[in-house]
Amino acid sequence: MQEQDIVEQPIITKYTLNAEQEKKEILRHYRALLRSLRTKLKKGDKELIRSAFEIAAEAHKTMRRKSGEPYILHPLAVAMICVEEIGLGVRSTICALLHDTVEDTDVTLDDVEREFGTEIAKIVDGLTKISNVIDTNTSQQAENFKKILLTLTDDPRVILIKLADRLHNMRTLDSMKREKQLKISSETVWVYAPLAHRMGLYSIKTEMEDLAMKYLEPEAYKGIAKKLAETRRERSRYINEFIKPLKEKLSAAGFDFEIYGRPKSIHSIWNKIKNKGVAFEEVYDLFAIRVILNSPPEKEKEDCWKVYSMITDEYLPSTERLRDWLSNPKSNGYEALHTTVMGPQGKWVEVQIRSKRMNEIAEKGLAAHYKYKEGNNDEDRFDKWFGQIREVLATQETDSVDFLQDFKTSFLAEDIYVYTPKGDVKMLPKGSSALDFAFSVHSAIGSKCIGAKVNHKLVPISHKLRSGDQIEIITSSKQKPTEDWLNFVVTAKAKTKIKDALREEKRLIADDGKYVLQRKLEGMGAAFTPGNIEEVMHFYKLSSQLDLLYKIAIKSIDLKELNDFQVLGDRLEAPKPKVTHVVDHTTEQKQISKKDSELIIFGESSDKIVYQLAKCCNPIPGDTVFGFVTTGKGLVIHRTNCPNAAQLMANYGHRVVKTKWAKNKEISFLTGLKIIGMDDVGVINKITNVISGEMRINIAALTIESEEGIFRGTVKVFVHDKEELEELVDRLKKLNGIQTVDRFDTEDIK
């Protein structure tokens, strides 16, 4: 079987149809949707879908998308993704057709409920709440996100339809402005792709990541896509050579099966190149071989292991690379057996073995999972996951700005499975500590935890757990949570409980501060009233009364400063503030973004705008960058592929400023390179000769460490722009014995 193509989705860039052609185009999409639903239609369903389509078409009739196409094509496309790619049915199709009507048109939620009933109205309401999630200020965003999650635990179809909506937006992102492309792509990588992964929608997750990369890192994307296309024929030949003996063995054993090679996504190849510091040519798993068995449910596991045995008889396996998700499926329902074997020509090849049912769950995620679960009332891993989310939402503070980040680390990360002393399984996100485990057992156990025994060995509360660990928690009645604990935990439940305990502790201490402030105010002849407390709070630039009273209690505030206040009757009035040079970032922001299309040009000696280069990614002229308005430092410039970029653009889009470099050869910028090669006499001389001698570039620092014939070096240099850096990298790579030269991505260059 041939390797499957990496298909680029069709993207409409220019729309040129007349009214009659448009009508035909809309009807063509509508009929295609009905055809794909054919097997799921019951009596009366067709009429309901027609009614939803007509309401949506009428409501959106004057609206167009940025590409110029009629807006109704968007809900039709979203509905099609729901049916074809996620496996949803008639109710979800109706919701997808109506998903933008309540927010963008005159159609109300009552209209939807009257026409289609409570269930559909509830889902449309959830979709309406979701649509504004990312664009508002951060605390409001966290609030909206909680509403989504409540709807998700109530009816997961809300998130599945939203993922279809986001996927179609990503497929048609070409018509948007550059800054909108960056913002939407960042949100997608930050929230939606991990959510798709957690819902078991692997193909949607990988397509979202690939499309986001196309806009966030266009050069790297095009480079890998080009190399994949160039090496496709060679890969197909290799795949055929690899699977030929396996086909013969499986056929002889009487298996009903499919076997084919599947390319890895561009995004996952790019991650391997970055994380392992290797070139494209050195990434061995550019594809995976997939074996899909048509086995009855009771024989699935047995057959998968039999096939594994046959494959490993033919090719030698790597024992460290066996992944058994048959005995212990992932929390998103994924079941399969993965192994990596040594194929012909000494190449490692990943092989995935699964049944047809497992494959449908891997492709369609949650929807397929529920289809196979019908009639089985056992609480499964999705139910447990929803239960955990409900529990955290019930205890979360409503104004928690950290909510999104906590949610990501708690609920969107890969899971590990650990055991209680009695052998019960607990599911925790990757990176969880013994303290996370203690809080997952019970809040009271978490709060009193002083240590743990992992596999019968004593470990501290910060000990990171691994799948298969058995944990026994050790408690003490004298123990209580401290601020440090927040650094040891990743689960939202643990974070919330620790913060609650610290807040309670703070309240007890703040009671003393309340008494001190009351005495001070009454001594000045002022009353202890909410108005006066607020005046004092503003004077000390604090955001809450609790912080004020706490700081007074621990004596980090000097109340003698209140002597400068005036007392009018029993009311306090703060002294007029002295003029200081504090920059108000809100006014600065207004100046910067007064025109949506304005470009901030920096890098010139005549610059009027004060900016800083971000330490997390050290941009240099030529890098694709954006400006970010911070509270204290004014405008900070980040690379669009900076490790923090996705979070900043997704969560604080309103503070992102479109930015570009101006040509200037007067200023040099500090950047760093990592060099790996064969240790040889004179290697340092060769490197410094290229940098200082040939290219006349100043070296800020150079360190070389050698071990067993391999050297690893870091060099920090001052370059004028990206072109100069790229030329330097090319020249260094041409030196004898140099294996890799990579730019520092996240290290803090001082």
Q: Quick one: angle between helices 109-116 and 45-59, nearest 10?
A: 160
Burial class (CB in 10 A: 0-12, 13-18, 19+), 370: middle
DSSP type of residue 322 = -
Q: Nearest Cα to 408, choosing from 431, 426, 391? A: 431
DSSP type of residue 151 = H
Name the region of 719 (left: φ>0; alpha: ψ -120 to 50; beta: rest).
beta
Sequence letter at residue 119: E
Q: Nearest Cα to 187, choosing from 706, 648, 663, 597? A: 648
Sequence letter at residue 691: I
Dihedral over alpha carbons 664, 634, 136, 13 (to 10 degrees) = 0
Residues 6+ apart with CB under 8 A from 666: 605
Q: Which of 22, 25, 103, 285 is catalytic?
A: 103
- Distances in Å between the alpha carbon of 76 and those of 16, 98, 100, 165, 531? 19, 10, 11, 10, 55
Q: Nearest Cα to 100, choosing from 88, 112, 89, 90? A: 112
Burial class (CB in 10 A: 0-12, 13-18, 19+), 119: middle
From CA 308, how far away is CA 33, in angstroms rounded?
40
Active site residue 383: no
Residues 6+ apart with CB under 8 A from 528: 517, 518, 521, 522
Q: Are 122 and 98 in contact (CB under 8 A)?
A: no
Beta strands in 457-537 (DSSP E): 457-459, 471-475
Q: 718: which strand partners?
A: 670, 698
From CA 748, how far away is CA 76, in angstroms rounded?
48
Q: Nearest Cα to 717, choosing from 736, 697, 732, 734? A: 697
Q: 257: which strand partners?
A: 293
Instruction: Determine the length of the chain.
Output: 750
Q: Nearest Cα to 219, choosing from 722, 669, 590, 664? A: 722
Q: How many CB atoms lie within 10 A of CB 741?
A: 21
The DSSP line for 692-744 is IIIT-PEEEEEEEEEETTEEEEEEEEEESSHHHHHHHHHHHHTSTTEEEEEE-
Active site residue 85: no
Q: How many CB atoms lie within 10 A of CB 215?
A: 23
From CA 37, how far away is CA 541, in angstroms rounded?
60
Three-class SS of residue 574? coil
From CA 681, how far away is CA 679, in angstroms rounded?
7
List the structure tokens of 701: 């620092």
- Distances in Å between the alpha carbon of 597 and those of 133, 314, 590, 610, 648? 24, 61, 14, 20, 20
From CA 572, how far away is CA 639, in angstroms rounded?
48
From CA 189, how far away is CA 650, in angstroms rounded?
9
Q: Are 392 and 378 in contact (CB under 8 A)?
A: no
Q: For tokens 């009273």, name the residue.
A: 549
Q: Which of 45, 104, 115, 125 is catalytic?
A: 104
Catalytic residues, by residue number, are: 103-104
